[in-house]
């Protein structure tokens, strides 16, 4: 039984012609060897390239197995190369079956909670202790504030205890005494010093004296008696008003304009 004419025509077109030559080694296909040298193993049949109608002989196919899947002239692959071992082909996306969507899967996930705020600890300030040199010593302050004496020395840059009377204040470190009130928050002054400063201010206001040294001189001459100092000032002011020429001769301008250091002040 003969094959159909169309199948016979296709098989004849795929077979190389007997007068053709190999496109790689230029050996005529009619005279090409059929077996490998030194053995009776038959060589592969010549391969007709569908891309350019050239032919590769069986000896070249046996020597280079790439020619079975590759055209050296067109630089194209004529067949799909096999994947390396251990790899699988990618599944067709159309074959993937997705699970049905539900109400729980369509609901977006809640956002993550915000991180806790960073709380920066404020550095506490040192406690200021105003010294009373009549009673305060470094040992007594160490016991009163429960701070080691060597810490007080290092924190206040005090190399020796006998230098403490030269200080007016002492800083208590916040690392050992945090946020606690000072045992001496205000400057310590003697009662006589407080009275002297109060009398000096009252004299400067009552007599309208802007010069601190002049006010101090009048108070010292009166023994820090405010009434006596004011009376002495008024007596001097009355004498200057009664003797303007003598006052002008001394170079003064009177006490009516702030009691500048002119006149009798220059001869003291």
Phi, psi of 175 (to 5 degrees): -65, -25
**Correct CATH for 127-172 of 3.10.350, 1.10.1200, 1.20.120, 1.10.3470:** 3.10.350
pLDDT of residue 229: 94
Q: What is the DSSP letter of 266?
A: G
Residue 253 and residue 260 in contact, taking contact as beta carbons nearer than 8 Å: yes
Distances (CA, A) of 18 to 24, 28, 30, 55, 59: 16, 8, 5, 11, 16
Task: Report pLDDT digits (tens) over 22-80.
Answer: 888 888 888 878 887 777 778 888 888 888 888 888 888 888 888 888 788 887 776 65
pLDDT for the residue numbered 207: 92
Domain boundaries, the chain: 5-77, 127-172, 191-267
More confident residue, 188 or 255: 188
| Dihedral sign computed on CA atoms, order 213, 215, 221, 225 | negative
Nearest to 162 by CA among 142, 143, 137: 137
Assessment of whether the complete model's pTM goes beyond 0.75: no
Q: Among candidates 184, 189, 179, 190, which has minimal Cα distance to 144?
A: 184
Between 95 and 12, name the one with better pLDDT: 95
**Pair 253, 262: CB distance under 8 Å:** yes
Higher pLDDT, 92 or 148: 148
pLDDT digits (tens, 9 = 90+) for 70-129: 788 887 776 655 555 554 545 555 556 666 666 555 677 788 888 877 665 566 788 999
């Amino acid at each position: 039984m003969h094959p159909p004419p169309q199948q016979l025509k296709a098989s004849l077109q795929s077979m190389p012609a007997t007068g053709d030559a190999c496109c790689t080694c230029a050996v005529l296909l009619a005279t090409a060897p059929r077996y490998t040298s030194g053995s009776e193993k038959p060589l592969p049949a010549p391969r007709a390239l569908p891309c350019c109608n050239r032919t590769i002989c069986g000896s070249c196919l046996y020597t280079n197995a790439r020619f079975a899947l590759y055209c050296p002239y067109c630089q194209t692959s004529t067949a799909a190369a096999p994947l390396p071992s251990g790899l699988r082909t990618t599944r067709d996306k159309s074959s993937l079956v997705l699970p049905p969507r539900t109400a729980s899967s369509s609901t977006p996930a809640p956002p993550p909670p915000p991180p806790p705020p960073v709380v920066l600890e404020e550095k506490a300030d040192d406690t200021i202790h105003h010294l009373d040199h009549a009673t305060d010593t470094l040992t007594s302050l160490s016991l009163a504030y429960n701070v080691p004496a060597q810490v007080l020395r290092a924190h206040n840059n005090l190399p020796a205890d006998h230098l403490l009377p030269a200080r007016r204040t002492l800083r208590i470190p916040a690392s050992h005494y945090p946020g606690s009130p000072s045992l001496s928050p205000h400057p310590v002054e003697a009662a006589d010093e407080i009275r002297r400063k109060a009398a000096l201010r009252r004299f400067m206001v009552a007599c309208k004296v802007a010069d601190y040294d002049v006010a101090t001189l009048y108070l010292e001459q009166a023994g820090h008696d405010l009434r006596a100092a004011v009376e002495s000032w008024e007596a001097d002011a009355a004498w200057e008003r009664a003797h303007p020429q003598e006052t002008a001769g001394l170079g003064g301008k009177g006490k009516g304009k702030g009691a500048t250091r002119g006149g009798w002040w220059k001869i003291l």
